[in-house]
Structure formats: C-alpha cells, structure tokens
Amino acid sequence: MNGLTGRKGEIEGNLNKAFGGRRMKIYVASSWRNSYQRVVVDLLREEDFEVYDFRNPEPGNIGFSWSEIDPDWLEWKPKQFIKALDHPIAEAGYKLDFDAMKQADVCIMVLPCGRSAHSEAGWMKGAGKKVYIYVPESTEPELMYKIYDGIFTDLESILHELSESAR
C-alpha cells in the first residue's frame, strides 16, 4: 500500500466526469537511467490511470534501443546518426512513442531526464496537452520550465493536480 490509494475513488470520480467514463491517458517522459520512472508508472497504474511506459510499450516489447541497430552506436558520426533515424527499428520505436504522445491527455516528465523526454514534453505542451514536471531530487534550475502546467516534488501533489485538472 503506498498511502495514496485512498484518493482513488475521488480521482476516478473526477476522471469519469472529464473523460466520458474512460481513464485519463498519461505519457511518462523520462530516461532509461532514471530510477524514479518505474515508481511513477507503477503508482499511476495503481491509481487506475492508463499509462504509457516507453520501457515496455506493448506486450513482449522492451522498448527502443539504439544498440538494436548497432552495438557501436555511441561511436557514430553525425551522418550515421541521421541515417539511423530511418532504420526500421528506429521508425518502429518512434511510431510507438509518438502514437502514445498523440493519444495521451497529459504528460508527466520525470527528472532527471535527457533530450528525448524534453522533446516529448515540449511537443505535448505545444499540442495543447497538460505537462507536469516531477522533480524528486536536486537538479539544475531551468527557466523555461515555466511554460509547463506545474512542477512538483512529491507524487501526492501530482495525483491531486491530476484529479483537479480532470474537473
């Protein structure tokens, strides 16, 4: 028990009103190296949100990795990187992630994270979707985070905001 599940009834009631009976879809943008990502995905699913997990985007798929294209990907020159973007494995990984971004109602960017997560969150904000940032530990300040809908240091506050935004 995570201590937050007592809010589930309140959250579900708000979500049903806002989303015509379907669950809110959340895209979690983060990094493969981020240990908080799994905790956030699990908690949101416990609270009955539909959550896209780039580490497991669909059954039997463990997510995209450049090493699937080339084990020496870290040694690529710019032209190799650009060419690899058109590789069928990269295209398939991109399609899964971008389709989930388009279908999501909300994005939660979990820090620390890198370029992909920032690109995803920026696209989602530009598409008119709510974007919240979860900052569970000290990080370098970023002025442009002001464009997002909220910055939170604890998960309970994010759950509260999701419930409020669904009203």
Pairing of strands 106-110, 50-52: unpaired
Instruction: Note the pLDDT of residue 1.
Output: 41
Q: Which of 41-45, 59-63, 145-149, 155-159 has the lowest mean pLDDT?
A: 59-63
Tell me the domains of the chain and their CATH numbers: 5-59+104-165 (3.40.50.280)
Report how far apart, in Å, the C-alpha atoms of 134 and of each of 24, 34, 38, 70 are.
Answer: 18, 12, 13, 33
Q: Give the pair of three-digit tokens for residue 129.
A: 């979707």
Name the DSSP letter for residue 126: H
Instruction: Note the pLDDT of residue 165.
Output: 79
Omega before residue 57 within 30° of 0, cis: no
pLDDT digits (tens, 9 = 90+) for 82-105: 999 999 999 999 999 999 999 999
Query: What's the whole-number mean pLDDT along residues 126-151?
Result: 96
pLDDT digits (tens, 9 = 90+) for 9-36: 555 555 544 566 779 999 999 999 999 9
3-class secondary-structure state, position 106:
strand
Residues 73, 50: contact at Cβ < 8 Å?
no
- Distance (Å, rounded) from C-alpha 24 to C-alpha 43? 14
Instruction: Note the pLDDT of residue 21.
Output: 74
Name the DSSP letter for residue 23: P
- Sign of the CA dihedral with 37 first, then 117, 79, and 61 last: positive
pLDDT digits (tens, 9 = 90+) for 36-88: 999 999 999 999 999 999 998 888 899 999 999 999 999 999 999 999 999 99
pTM score, two decimals?
0.87
Q: Give the pair of three-digit tokens for residue 128.
A: 């008119």
Longest Cα–Cα distance in the chain: 52
- Distance (Å, rounded) from C-alpha 3 to C-alpha 165? 21
Residue 134 bridge partners (DSSP): 110, 152
Instruction: Note the pLDDT of residue 98.
Output: 98
Q: Give the pair of three-digit tokens for residue 135.
A: 């900052």
Asked whether the predicted pLDDT for residue 166 surpasses 80, the reply is: no
Report how far apart, in Å, the C-alpha atoms of 162 and of each of 1, 20, 93, 125 are.
Answer: 20, 16, 28, 16
